[in-house]
Structure 1
Amino acid sequence: MEHHHHHHHHGEISGGKLLFSVVLNLVITVAQFIGGIFSGSLALLSDALHNFSDVMSLIISYYAHRLSHRPQNLRQTFGFKRAEILAALFNASVLIAVSVYLIVEAFNRLIEPQPVASTWVMVLAALGIVVNGLSAWLLHRDADRNINIRSAYLHLMGDLMTSFAVLAGGALIYLYGWYWIDPILSLLISVYLIRSSFSIVRASTGMLMQFAPSDVSVDAVMETVERFPSIESIHHIHLWQLDDESVFLEARLNFHDDLKLSEVSEIVHDLGHALEEIGIAHTTFQCETGKTGREAVSASCHHH
Structure 2
Amino acid sequence: MAHDHHGHDHAHHHHGPPADGNFSQAFKWGIVLNLVFVAGEVAGGLWANSAALLSDAGHNLSDVLSLALAWAASLLATRRPTERYTYGYKGATIQAALLNAALLYLALGFILWETIDHLRHPAPVNGPVVMMLAGLGILVNGFTAWLFRRGQKGDVNVRGAYLHMLTDMLVSVGVVVGGALVYFTGWQWLDPAISFIILAVVGVSSWGLLRETVQLSLQAAPESIDVAEVRRFLLSRPGVTQVHDLHIWPLSTRDTALTAHLVRPGSENGNLFLRDLQHDLQHEFNISHSTVQLEDALPLMGAHGCCDEQVA
Q: TM-score, normalized by length of structure 1? A: 0.87
Q: Match for 2:9 among 7, 10, 20? A: 7
How many residues align structurally?
291
Does the alignment pair 1:289 with 2:296?
yes
Q: Unaligned 5+ residue runs, structure 2?
A: 302-312
Does the alignment pair 1:268 with 2:277?
no
CA-to-aligned-CA distance 1:71-99 (integer Å, 9 cap, x gap): 22222222222222222221222111222
Q: Match for 1:27 among 12, 16, 36? A: 36
CA positional deviation for 1:217: 2.8
Does the alignment pair 1:163 with 2:172?
yes
**Structure having the higher Rg:** 1
Q: Match for 2:151 among 138, 142, 154? A: 142
**Aligned residue number for residue 284 of structure 2:** 278
> Partners in 1 of 2:297 and 2:175 — Cα distance?
70
- Residues 215, 134 of structure 1: CA spacing in aligned structure 2 closer, same or farther, 3 A cutoff? closer
CA positional deviation for 1:16: 1.1
Do 1:50 and 1:155's aligned partners in 2 also have CA atoms closer than 8 Å? no
CA-to-aligned-CA distance 1:189-238 (integer Å, 9 cap, x gap): 10111112211111111112111222333322332233345333221111
CA-to-aligned-CA distance 1:91-115 (integer Å, 9 cap, x gap): 2221112223323333343344222
Does the alignment pair 1:48 with 2:50?
no
Structure 1 consecutive aligned stretches of length 4 or more whose deviation exceeds 6 Å: none
RMSD between superposed Cα atoms in Å:
2.1
> Partners in 2 of 1:113 and 1:214 — Cα distance?
45
CA-to-aligned-CA distance 1:115-174 (integer Å, 9 cap, x gap): 212232222222222222222222222222221111112221222122222222222222
Which stretch shifts more, 101-110 or 181-190? Answer: 101-110
Of all paired residues, the percent bearing the same amino acid is 37
Q: Match for 1:95 among 79, 104, 108? A: 104
CA positional deviation for 1:180: 0.8
Do 2:55 and 2:115's aligned partners in 1 also have CA atoms closer than 8 Å? no
The secondary structure found in structure 2 opposite 1:291 is coil
Q: TM-score, normalized by length of structure 2? A: 0.85
Does the alignment pair 1:64 with 2:86?
no
* Matched letter for residue 59 of structure 1: A
CA positional deviation for 1:244: 3.5
Alignment of 1:213-224 (within 5 A): 213-224=222-233
* Matched letter for residue 218 of structure 2: M
Do 1:70 and 1:79's aligned partners in 2 also have CA atoms closer than 8 Å? yes
Do 1:224 and 1:275's aligned partners in 2 also have CA atoms closer than 8 Å? no
The secondary structure found in structure 1 opposite 2:225 is coil
